[in-house]
Amino acid sequence: MNVVETLMREVEELRRRLNNVVREGRVEEADAKKGYRIAIGDGDDGPIKTTWVKRDESGGSLKTWAPLTKGQKVKLFSPNGEIGGNSLVVPHHYNEGHDQPSENLEEPLFQAGGVTMRFSNGVLTIEGNLLIKGASVKHDDKDIGKTHKHGQVQPGGGQSGAPV
């Protein structure tokens, strides 16, 4: 092999790796331990899938767990151009079946499992069922949990006082 052929092969390999640094795809398979297989193209026998790759999550003092779903659009980042163990998956944008939950630019929200949390004008609104587990629940420094007491209790149909 002469020098020109060697250089041409190296250029082709660099082009291939550069093409793989950032890819767009869809979640094809999900596994809680292994991660995700991403469809990055279509072949004669179906989708061309990556090996198992991990999602971008936080594991420090703030831990997150936001599983991706089959069909969800993602970006695949592979810093060295080799798709595999070094690659990282991040959610990309809305697509069919994974629709944008709002058009209000002034109201951030989280939506999962039939519950929506909206943040608007200093107020958090939760739409859905709420279950609180813990030793205490307070409102304005007043105990409103299972151990709260009321003052000014009268027998019969009278009103009790506020929690103390």
The structural domains of the chain, with segments of one domain joined by +, span 3-97, 101-149
Summarize pLDDT for 121-142 with one digit per residue, the tens. 999 999 999 998 888 888 898 8
Residue entry with tokens 């594991």: 59
CATH architecture of the domain with range 3-97 = Beta Barrel (2.40)
Angle subtended at Cα 125 by Cα 120 and Cα 127, rounded to the nearest 5 degrees:
135
Categorize the per-residue pLDDT at 77 as very low, low, confident or very high, splitting at 50, 70 and 90: very high
Average pLDDT of 59-80?
92
Categorize the per-residue pLDDT at 117 as very low, low, confident or very high, splitting at 50, 70 and 90: very high
How much of the chain, in percent, has pLDDT values that exceed 70? Answer: 99
- Widest CA span of the chain, in angstroms? 102
* 8 Å CB contact between 117 and 125: yes
Q: How far is CA 119 from the centre of its chain?
A: 18
Cα–Cα distance measured from residue 44 to residue 47, given in angstroms and rounded to the nearest whole number: 8
Summarize pLDDT for 141-155 with one digit per residue, the tens. 888 888 887 777 777
Average pLDDT of 6-27?
94
Q: What does DSSP assign to residue 11?
A: H
